């Protein structure tokens, strides 16, 4: 999944790729203590931070590479997750 953070990771699609039901996919994440959408957002945020901080990518590039298409949605998610805007990691 980490290699495909920029693509469509909707539950239905991912469940189909793993040949399990959506409820089975949800349960697998629930027993790990995290909802599926929380896991995806966590992975996307960590990768965005890595791209900005370590690879010196532009914020816009990190946004698109991690599956976000709306700048304000990305900025809000990033600030919520890390407490700072992406520019503070450049």
pLDDT of residue 8: 82
> Which structural domain, as residue segments, surrounds residue 62?
2-89
pLDDT of residue 4: 79
pLDDT of residue 3: 75
Cα distance between residue 17 and residue 30, in whole Å: 19
- How many structural domains does the chain have? 1
Radius of gyration of the chain (CA): 14
pLDDT of residue 62: 97
Angle at which helices 36-53 and 71-82 pack, to 10 degrees? 90
Weakly modelled stretches of the chain, pLDDT under 50: none
CATH code: domain of residue 79? 1.10.10.60
């Amino acid at each position: 999944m980490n290699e495909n953070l920029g693509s469509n990771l909707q539950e239905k699609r991912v469940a189909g790729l793993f040949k399990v039901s959506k409820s089975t996919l949800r349960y697998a994440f629930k027993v790990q203590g995290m909802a599926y959408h929380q896991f995806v957002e966590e992975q996307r945020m960590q990768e965005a931070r890595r791209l900005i901080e370590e690879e010196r990518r532009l914020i816009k590039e990190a946004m698109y590479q991690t599956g976000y298409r709306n700048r304000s949605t990305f900025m809000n998610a990033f600030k919520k997750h890390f407490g700072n805007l992406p520019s503070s990691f450049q």
